[in-house]
Amino acid sequence: MRFLRNENGHTAAFMCISMPLIIAVLGVCIDGSLLLYYKARLMTATKLAAVSATSFYEIENDQLIIDLLSAEDAALRTLGQNFESAVMTRFEIDSVEKNTCTVDAQVEVPFYFLRMLEAFGSGITHKTLMESYTASRSIDKQGDD
Amino acid sequence: MRIIKSNKGQSALETAVILPFILFILFAMISLGIYIYDHSVLLLAANKATDTGIGILSIDDMSDSEKEIKIEEAARNFVNSGIFLEEPDEPDGLPELALISEADENGERKLSVTVIRRFNCGLPFVNKIFRDNMIIKAQSTYIFKEY
């Protein structure tokens, strides 16, 4: 009974109990902002890859046709240079509008703090982000979508 | 002996032991948050500058160096609106902000935008200690073919 009433070291005990909570809050803050950073980076890399691909074209019968091989290669290289860990999952030129292409990419975001919660059965080790961008180019003006 | 056995002020002592740890976690959290934010600002600045570049690359009556200046301006304006970053300041010996490469044998060219800043974590003592090593960098590349 005396042991239960003893208040010695209660701050340390309180800290030990609240540590998982502190790590969880820290995890949500840091890993959450990291997730947003990866998302922004993947978005810009995918966009640039798609726009870059549209600049590799041929003109046939006054129609701009994106060259599949060189455009795909350019998209892959642009994506790699803007975001090394991103993977291009799809490159497609529209079958009707041949001046339009779509690039899909994804990246795996590793979590550093949230994985610590695995010991409590609720940890998350990573999340896969996906992004898609469609760009087109016309003959009249050199602008991009 | 009475001083050692006395329980008075033990809570204050425990707090004194724990407080540095709590403060360390707090400051680390704030600094990391600002670091990721600054990285995002630089990333968006590089992207904004590349967008500007894509828009002006096809203008014929403008030289490459004039285009590069415009692109750099776009990046600088964007970065300066970021709240935690300091004034533009390029460390010596690092690459230029915007660079349009010459066409290779296939007519392929590359626009590279690099934005470099010293990191300001908002904590003066941390800034003082790590000032020279805290550099953040974002790069954006656009490969295009010129016809």
B55 neighbors A52 (Cβ within 8 angstroms): no
Q: Which amino acid is at A19?
A: M
Q: What residues form DSSP beta bridges with A12?
A: none
Give the pLDDT confidence score for residue B93 in this predicted structure. 43
Most confident of A73-77, A136-140, B96-100: A73-77
Highest mean pLDDT among A43-47, A125-129, B128-132 belongs to A43-47
- Top-confidence range, B12-16, B94-98, B129-133: B12-16
**pLDDT recorded at residue B51:** 92
Q: Are A139 and A64 in contact (CB under 8 A)?
A: yes
- Cα-Cα-Cα-Cα torsion A42, B145, B62, B99, nearest 10 degrees, comes to 50
CA A61, CA A65: separation in Å to the nearest integer? 10
Helix, strand, coil share of chain A (percent; to 5): 50, 25, 25
B67: tokens are 């285009």
**Is A131:A103 a contact under the CB 8 Å cutoff?**
no
- Residue of higher predicted confidence among B1 and B123: B123
SS3 label, residue A33: helix
Return the pLDDT at B61: 85
Phi, psi of B71 (to 5 degrees): -65, -45
> Model confidence over A7-31: pLDDT tens digits?
666 777 777 888 778 777 877 888 8
Q: How many domains is chain B partitioned into structurally?
A: 1
Q: Do residues A106 and A86 make contact, with C-beta atoms less than 8 angstroms apart?
A: yes
Burial of B6 (0-12, 13-18, 19+ CB in 10 A): exposed
Find the closest chain B residue to A45 by CA distance: B140
pLDDT digits (tens, 9 = 90+) for B75-109: 888 887 776 666 545 554 444 577 888 878 888 89
Query: How many of the other CB atoms lie within 10 Å of CB of A54?
Result: 25
pLDDT beyond 70 at B139: yes
Q: Give the pair of three-digit tokens for residue A37.
A: 């950073």
Would you call B6 an interface residue with chain A, using a CB distance cutoff of 8 Å? Answer: no
- Which member of B44, B139, B142 has the closest CB to residue A40? B44
Contacts with B108 from chain A: Cβ below 8 Å: 74
Residue B53: closest CA among B119, B122, B113, B138: B113
Mean pLDDT confidence for B124-136: 74
**Any CB–CB contact under 8 A between B7 and chain A?**
yes
Domain range holding B32? 2-145
- Strand-pairing partners, residue B99, are B112
Q: How many CA atoms lie within 13 A of B19 on its CB side?
A: 6
Q: In this complex, do B50 and A12 lie within 8 Å of one another by their Cβ atoms?
A: no
What does the pLDDT look like over B56-79, one tens digit per residue?
Answer: 888 888 888 898 888 988 888 888
pLDDT tens digits, residue range B29-41? 888 888 888 888 8
Query: What ranges in chain A are assigned the alpha helix state H?
Result: 2-5, 10-54, 68-82
pLDDT for B134: 77
